[in-house]
């Protein structure tokens, strides 16, 4: 792919919707970080960050400018955070605005009146279907998704089923660009030594009902399967209740979220199984990151997960079903599943490939 380095100073790319950089929160931050690292020789990049999240702030990250907005990037402040970021991007004369998520897209009709910039929206999953939202929030997100589909220059779906959904619902063709996996570099050697003789399954996720953490814990407890789960256990009533119920169980190792990739990669390297419970969304970052380490995957049986794993993983739909799988793993060719996951990752989810697709999209309407 030709890299138009001379365009860097001319094409202003502004990224809206992530918590910020350096990345230590979630998928949007990982995506933003990789785009900045891979494309900073092609574009003049600005990233909007939440000043509420960063006690220590820097002006730049891998040549990208950082602008801080005094609001939280998530929760009820998210739409205003995105809107203010987009208005700042207009003021800074952005050529392309990449919006991550739909919560602020209700403002796009106004934004379009004020700028000729391309507005590209990565819709993430079908956010309004998440169980954690109340009626008003679901309605607001559905409207925001509609405005994203109707008024954006281009839509991005990170899962082929999301692309199909956008076509079915809104008659809008979108670009399929998957989420990338994790680098296989960076391990905590001391931690690896302590994990050397352990046999455990792994899950890294937000502790929310649609991620079926209760199903996973129940099945692992029932089958005496050791599992490490990393997440924010004090985030909501659901996570708190699960922590209270399962934290003392000898097979359920419930750890708080950690941002250290060295620690997470060490657990990924040693896990004999990755259990993925997400039931809503597109190509989930934690699933692809597990695939990058060639861990055999057992995933919740929904179309998004089947598309992400090309129907080559093992799938469950209930605690009973998962327990049956865990007690009969010998009937599955885990070595082949491991090999398939690694090959699929390297062919479809390498960050260099992903960044290249975004680069082509940013240049598409020049």
* CATH number of the domain within which 311 lies: 3.40.50.2000
Residues 171 and 196 in one domain: no
Say which residue the tokens 């049986």 belong to. 301
Q: pTM of this prediction?
A: 0.86
Q: Say yes or no: 132 and 217 in one domain.
A: no
DSSP lists the bridge partners of residue 256 as 231
Q: What is the pLDDT of residue 366?
A: 62
Report the candidate in 261, 285, 207, 232 with the shortest Cα–Cα distance to residue 26: 285
Could you tell me if 212 and 304 lie in one domain? yes
Residues 108 and 127 in one domain: yes
How long, in residues, is the chain?
366
Q: What is the pLDDT of residue 1?
A: 38
* 158 and 209 together in one domain: no
pLDDT tens digits, one per residue of 108-138: 999 999 999 999 999 987 777 777 778 888 8
Cα distance between residue 153 and residue 275, in whole Å? 37
Convert the pLDDT of each residue in 79-95 to its tens digit. 999 999 999 999 999 99
Number of domains in the chain: 2
> Which mean pLDDT values do the consecutive 10-residue runs of the chain (366 residues) have?
49 96 85 95 96 90 96 92 97 97 95 95 82 83 94 94 93 92 84 93 94 98 98 95 97 93 94 95 88 96 95 97 97 97 94 94 81
pLDDT of residue 55: 84
Same-domain pairing of 169 and 24? yes
- Residue-wise DSSP of 31-95: HHHHHHHHHTTTSEEEEEEETTT-SS--SEETTEEEEEESS-SSGGGHHHHHHHHHHHHHHTT-S
**Residues 254 and 268 both lie in one domain:** yes
Neighbouring-strand partners of residue 15: 47, 98
**Quick one: pLDDT at residue 7?**
46
SS3 16: strand
The answer on 216 and 165 residing in a single domain is: no
SS3 percent helix, strand, coil of the chain, rounded to 5, is 45, 15, 35
What lies within 8 Å, CB to CB, of 344 at 6+ separation is 291, 309, 310, 312
Do 212 and 227 fall into the same domain? Answer: yes
Residues 31 and 60 in one domain: yes
Instruction: State percent of the chain over pLDDT 90.
Output: 81
> Do 318 and 354 have their domain in common?
no
- pLDDT for res 27: 85
Same domain, yes or no: 82 and 11: yes
Residues 116/149, Cβ–Cβ less than 8 Å: no
Q: Whole domain around residue 297: which residue ranges?
A: 189-348
Q: Work out the number of other CB atoms within 10 angstroms of the CB of residue 128.
A: 18
Q: Residue 9's pLDDT is what?
A: 57
């Amino acid at each position: 792919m030709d890299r138009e380095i001379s365009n860097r100073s001319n094409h202003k790319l502004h990224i809206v919707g992530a918590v910020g950089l350096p990345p230590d929160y979630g998928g949007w931050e990982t995506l933003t970080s990789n785009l900045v690292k891979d494309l900073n020789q092609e574009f003049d990049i600005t990233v909007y960050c939440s000043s509420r999240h960063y006690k220590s702030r820097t002006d730049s990250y891998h040549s990208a400018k950082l602008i801080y907005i005094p609001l939280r990037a998530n929760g009820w402040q998210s739409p205003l955070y995105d809107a203010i970021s987009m208005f700042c991007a207009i003021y800074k004369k952005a050529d392309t605005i990449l919006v991550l998520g739909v919560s602020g897209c209700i403002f796009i009709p106004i934004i379009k009146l004020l700028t000729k910039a391309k507005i590209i929206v990565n819709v993430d999953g079908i956010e309004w279907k998440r169980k954690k939202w109340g009626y008003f929030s679901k309605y607001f997100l559905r409207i925001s998704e509609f405005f994203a589909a109707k008024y954006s220059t281009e839509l991005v779906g990170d899962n082929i089923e999301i692309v199909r959904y956008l076509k079915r619902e809104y008659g809008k063709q979108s670009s399929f660009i998957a989420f990338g996996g994790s680098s296989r570099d960076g391990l905590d050697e001391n931690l690896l030594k302590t994990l050397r003789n352990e046999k455990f399954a792994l899950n890294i996720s937000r502790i929310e009902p649609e991620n079926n953490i209760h199903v996973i814990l129940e099945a692992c407890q029932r089958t005496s399967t050791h599992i490490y789960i990393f997440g924010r256990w004090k985030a909501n009533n659901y996570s708190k209740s699960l922590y209270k119920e399962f934290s003392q169980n000898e097979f359920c190792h419930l750890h708080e979220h950690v941002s250290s990739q060295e620690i997470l990669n060490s657990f990924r390297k040693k896990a004999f199984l990755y259990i993925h419970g997400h039931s809503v969304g597109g190509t989930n970052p934690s699933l692809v990151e597990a695939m990058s380490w060639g861990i055999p995957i057992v995933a919740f049986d929904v179309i998004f997960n089947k598309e992400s794993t090309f129907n080559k993983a093992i799938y469950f739909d209930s605690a009973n079903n998962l327990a049956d799988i865990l007690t009969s793993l010998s009937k599955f060719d885990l070595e082949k599943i491991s090999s398939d996951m690694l090959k699929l990752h390297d062919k479809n989810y390498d960050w260099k490939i992903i960044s290249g697709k975004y680069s082509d999209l940013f240049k598409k309407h020049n």
